Amino acid sequence: DEFIAPILLGLAGALLGGCAHGHGAAPGGRPPLASSSPGSARAAPASPAPGRIRTFRPLGRTGFLASDIGLGCGRISDPALVRYAFDRGVNLFDTGESYANGDSERMIGQAMPHLAREKIFLITKLAVAPGDSQQSLVDRALRCLERLRTNHVDALYLHGVGSAALVKHEGFHAA
């Protein structure tokens, strides 16, 4: 972990570093407006550099304004990476119960006290098998919430679905 964390942070820095607004989204989940001091000859850049948050877009019919860069958290081993991304405007985080045996969710959970929960869109996933009951899926989803240290996720996906029958899984939809 001592070796991998700086690499992950370095990769995140290469992708997200120097975000034009520095400390996350402006109030309301919107990117801040370009500013210049009176009489300043500097104009806002025509377009942001690659790897920076460029815009926030409505996420389907949710009404949530999601950053155009989200963080896939499958291999996160340090909650500082989640905080780093959030501080630079990333507000969509995608994880799953099976990622690192739940450790990915735990890393997000450790970062959660430092995030504005109402300003992030949090996705997790459950792998569903034909024999899973509604109650077993509810129990697993509750364990995800415990690891994430939150009272809700914004989206719960079926993970690694291999058949149409699993998409229609009654226990998942009832849960």
Positions marked active-site: 99
* Sole residue written with tokens 């990333």: 90
Tokens describing residue 171 = 């226990």
Residues 6+ apart with CB under 8 A from 82: 71, 73, 76, 93, 107, 108, 111, 115
Q: What residue type is 45 in one-letter code?
A: P
Per DSSP, 31 falls in state P
Give CA 111 to chain center in angstroms.
11
Q: Which residues of 61-88 are buried (b: 16+ CB within 10 A; e: fewer)?
A: eeebbbbebbbebeebebbbbbbbbbeb
